[in-house]
Structure 1
Amino acid sequence: MGQGRPRAEIGLDDIDFSDLDFWARPLDEREAAFALLRARPGAPFFAETEDFGAGVGRGYHVLTRHADVLEASRRPDVFSSAPGVRIGEKPAEFFEIFDSMIEMDDPRHARLRRIVSRAFTPRMIRRFADDVERIAAEIVDVVAGRGSCDFVADIAAPLPLRIICDLMGVDAKDHAFVFDRTNVVLGAEDPEYAAGYADPGAAMLTAANELGALVEDLARARAERPTDDLTSALVHANPDGERLTRQELASFFVLLVLAGNETTRNAISHGLVLLTGNPEQRDRWASDFDGYARTAVEEIVRVASPVVYMRRTLTRDHETAGGLRFAEGDKVLLCYWSANRDESVFDAPYRFDIARDPNPHVGFGAAGPHFCLGAHLARREITVMFRELFRRVPDIRASGEPDRLRSAFINGIKRLPCAFTPVR
């Protein structure tokens, strides 16, 4: 990424985040749209133009500046997650399978997060920390002799997928099924993933229910024969007698494979694109991998911003510290992608700098009850994978343009050709 502002010309009339055609625009045009909104006072309002299955919504405000996103994230009592986190309203049939922690407020949110957090015992965490290194090495072993591959399918995707599936105790024969259904749920707005379904909503619902059915079968087995995986820990009561219901477990699993798989693989994929396009930063990291690993990973997440936004809904009339006024029921988008490029917070925000420090990005969400529960694991996976790549195939690079996901919600890469000197 260059150091200057986006050069593309774009006007307010060209911006409609609910129109999927906007997300098919070139990247520099989308960057220019967010830069334009950050430079304007207030929180602009946009009408909705797309029907996501529950009718065309009432419209939404957009928070594009870092300070506004942070403030809204810290006030869940005012900026509610419960009505949904995407622009459009959820159809009624979505509420059961998509009723997960990211779409809850306290006290329900606090209860589920407490149960899940206690299930991650120190022993389990140590075990999967070791597994990350082993699995990363196995993944690179498979491709090292080829000289080229699809970086997404062969390298970036398998690591978080295997970690999450192993964590939950999903059999290896079902990994490809989980990968496919995950793609459909988060990529249903993309014609490639919605093919064969009546509409994107039907694609999302069908795929999510299939993932839920998979973990419900697993839960039944673990109820009878406990093991040491996370599914067993969640099915059986913790020391305080709390446990997830079967429906809560299904919704949690859908959230886990979406948030823990898709977002991490996209961060790793964007990482290769950024290192290829900024060879001086690549050489810098290679000169002292461990010395730069912490800041390099944070910078990859900042620039990649795998989740573009989360929506909140006002529980009452409210005026923010910055003077933004909202009415009860207003929908507001917390634009993480834009906040991570806020010129008032980040020096030269369009420059990819692996030594950037401090780096108060919101790539894992902002501070507050919905900060990503798996941020630590994601950071470790990104670090370990790039350490293994630098060690085994040090000249790996993107050899073509990324095939980007058509989505308003996820900054995804579907395919990315890469090349390297084969290693025997």
Structure 2
Amino acid sequence: MTVETPQERAPITSYDQIDLSDWDFWARPLAEREHAFDLLRERDTPVFFAEPELSFAPRGDGYHAIVRHADIIEISRNPDVFSSGEGGATNIADMPAEFAEYFGSMINMDDPRHARLRRIVSRAFTPKMIQKFEEDVQTAAVGIVDDLLETGPGCDFVTEVAARLPLKIICDMMGIPEKDYRFVFDRSNIILGASDPEYVPGGDMDNVVSAMLNAGLELQQLVQDLAAHRTENPTGDLTSALVSANIDGERLTLQELGSFFILLVVAGNETTRNAISQGLLLLTRNPGEKARWLADIEGRAPKAVEEIVRLAAPVNYMRRKVTRDFEMNGTHYKKGEKTVLYYWAANRDGAVFADPYRFDITRDPNPHLGFGGPGPHFCLGAHLARREITVMFRELLQRVPEIEAGRPKRLFSSFINGVKHLPCDF
């Protein structure tokens, strides 16, 4: 079963009708995009697309669309061949210098620099450390559901429930005060939703670029100001730990700290909130699976959460650049070419997942790529994201078991598989 209800539209019947660089493709209903990726997966080799034309970056020679699970696994395991640092991983076009200042986080780096930064910040994301946040996550989820019950049906599940938990946890981790939660929420929306006219009206590319850079500057300034204060007045928060971290003589610069914070609020807030929102959609449209989960809330939770992440796959893709000629699964990749790894498509690969469009909360095994592929860039916050999704649905299923989602308003984006608004009833 697909996540979106198909709408009337001229169907895509052949792979040569597909252009992943055309914004019109990403405006199609989700069911049509799913079918398009089915057609791309049926090809013997990855399809090569021209790059989108952008006013703020030179147009490259194009990219291989990697849509098969096996191909993404192998590329992820060969970071020396498929680089994240040559031009950036989060955009198809090479990242301009002004973007790198704010968005040049470790996700857009290769080793050894990537390893250096990850080594410094990873101490906050071990399973042992995440257990320490368990009580905070539980307390926050209880308060959110309290407010939901007080507000009553008809509210926006995204803003009133799904977005609040990861936003609060990440801001609390960093030591960002509650008065700035909304500020962080709005700026992260702009960074990931700049192509959506709700967040950047007008649709002019120059406005989009300006809005993204301003949002990045504001978030970076927020954490840098906090870091300066924590240097003199340390507390137990993550910002204090990061400004004082010294591993083999290495410290984070203020620019690195700012870029990491942007990565944290974008990757840890936006993606988890979209998984929670789409989880409610999946449960609403699959009442049999919801009943199974309600029958054993604790026991079913681990596999149910993995299945939500598989089908939600909040990040559509990451990009890599080929560092040397390389042969892989029958395709020859030339030095300098780009590959775009469509995790969302790989999570629906019938060669790996039986009946891939079926929502099955007992699916096992479930080697999804919702947190990225194996290797150095596997999601640093995967443990925290799983915990937040688990606790939020445990609280909802126990206290508001009849809750259901209405029609979603989806984010217009090629990068994020997002839900902006979702009415709920109970």
Same fold (TM over 0.5): yes
Identify the match of residue 96 of structure 1 among 80, 83, 101.
101
Q: What's the secondary structure of 1:148's corresponding residue? A: coil
Distance in 1 of aligned mates of 2:171 and 2:64: 37
Distance in 1 of aligned mates of 2:59 and 2:207: 15
In structure 2, the residue matched to 1:363 is: 370
Deviations 1:269-309 (A, max 9, x none): 00000000000000010000111101100000000110001
Find out whether 1:112 has 2:120 as its counterpart: no
Distance in 2 of aligned mates of 1:190 and 1:60: 24
Q: Decide whether the 8 Å contact of 1:318 with 1:327 is kept in 2.
A: yes
Q: Decide whether the 8 Å contact of 2:130 with 2:384 is kept in 1.
A: no
In structure 1, the residue matched to 2:316 is: 308
Identify the match of residue 180 of structure 2 among 174, 189, 192.
174
In structure 2, the residue matched to 1:223 is: 231
Q: What's the secondary structure of 2:103's corresponding residue? A: coil
Find out whether 1:35 has 2:42 as its counterpart: no
Q: Which runs of structure 2 are paired with 1:188-267 in the superposition (5 Å)?
A: 188-195=194-201, 198-238=206-246, 240-267=248-275
Q: CA separation of 1:286/1:123 partners in 2, compared to 1, >3 Å: closer, same or farther? A: closer
Deviations 1:4-35 (A, max 9, x none): xx995333343222222211001111001100
Q: Decide whether the 8 Å contact of 2:125 with 2:384 is kept in 1.
A: no
Q: Decide whether the 8 Å contact of 1:169 with 1:230 is kept in 2.
A: yes
Segments of 5+ residues of structure 2 without an aligned counterpart are none
Q: Decide whether the 8 Å contact of 1:52 with 1:90 is kept in 2.
A: no
Distance in 2 of aligned mates of 1:238 and 1:126: 24
Q: Which moved more, 1:237-246 or 1:385-394?
A: 237-246
Find out whether 1:80 has 2:88 as its counterpart: no
Please state how far the C-alpha of 1:119 moved relative to its aligned partner. Answer: 4.6
For 1:395, give the aligned amino acid: E
Find out whether 1:49 has 2:52 as its counterpart: yes
Please state how far the C-alpha of 1:240 moved relative to its aligned partner. Answer: 3.9
Q: What's the secondary structure of 1:202's corresponding residue? A: helix
In structure 1, the residue matched to 2:144 is: 139
Deviations 1:334-363 (A, max 9, x none): 110111011110000010000000000000
For 2:145, give the aligned amino acid: V
Q: What's the secondary structure of 1:96's corresponding residue? A: helix
| TM-score, length basis structure 1 | 0.95
Distance in 2 of aligned mates of 1:76 and 1:328: 14
Q: Which runs of structure 2 are paired with 1:147-162 in the superposition (5 Å)?
A: 147-162=153-168
Q: Which moved more, 1:388-397 or 1:192-201?
A: 192-201
Q: Decide whether the 8 Å contact of 2:120 with 2:247 is kept in 1.
A: no
Please state how far the C-alpha of 1:124 moved relative to its aligned partner. Answer: 5.0
In structure 2, the residue matched to 1:296 is: 304
Q: What's the secondary structure of 1:192's corresponding residue? A: coil
Q: What's the secondary structure of 1:45's corresponding residue? A: strand
Give the fraction of aligned pairs with identical amino acids, expressed as a percent: 63
Find out whether 1:402 has 2:405 as its counterpart: no
Q: What's the secondary structure of 1:227's corresponding residue? A: coil
Distance in 1 of aligned mates of 2:288 and 2:2: 13
Q: Decide whether the 8 Å contact of 1:144 with 1:392 is kept in 2.
A: no
Distance in 2 of aligned mates of 1:122 and 1:290: 19
Please state how far the C-alpha of 1:127 moved relative to its aligned partner. Answer: 3.2
For 1:97, give the aligned amino acid: Y
Q: Which moved more, 1:46-55 or 1:58-67?
A: 46-55
In structure 2, the residue matched to 1:186 is: 192
Q: What's the secondary structure of 2:138's corresponding residue? A: helix
Q: Decide whether the 8 Å contact of 2:57 with 2:94 is kept in 1.
A: yes
Please state how far the C-alpha of 1:126 moved relative to its aligned partner. Answer: 3.7
Q: CA separation of 1:14/1:101 partners in 2, compared to 1, >3 Å: closer, same or farther? A: same
Q: CA separation of 1:243/1:122 partners in 2, compared to 1, >3 Å: closer, same or farther? A: farther
Q: What's the secondary structure of 2:23's corresponding residue? A: coil
Identify the match of residue 339 of structure 2 among 332, 342, 346.
332
Find out whether 1:23 has 2:29 as its counterpart: no
Q: What's the secondary structure of 2:160's corresponding residue? A: helix
Q: CA separation of 1:168/1:2 partners in 2, compared to 1, >3 Å: closer, same or farther? A: closer
| TM-score, length basis structure 2 | 0.94
Distance in 2 of aligned mates of 1:374 and 1:133: 17
Distance in 1 of aligned mates of 2:71 and 2:126: 35
For 1:195, give the aligned amino acid: P
Please state how far the C-alpha of 1:147 moved relative to its aligned partner. Answer: 2.5
Please state how far the C-alpha of 1:169 moved relative to its aligned partner. Answer: 0.2
In structure 2, the residue matched to 1:376 is: 383
Please state how far the C-alpha of 1:121 moved relative to its aligned partner. Answer: 7.5
For 1:220, give the aligned amino acid: A
Find out whether 1:387 has 2:391 as its counterpart: no
Distance in 2 of aligned mates of 1:164 and 1:14: 42
For 1:84, give the aligned amino acid: G
Distance in 2 of aligned mates of 1:306 and 1:14: 25
For 1:55, give the aligned amino acid: P
Q: Decide whether the 8 Å contact of 1:53 with 1:90 is kept in 2.
A: no
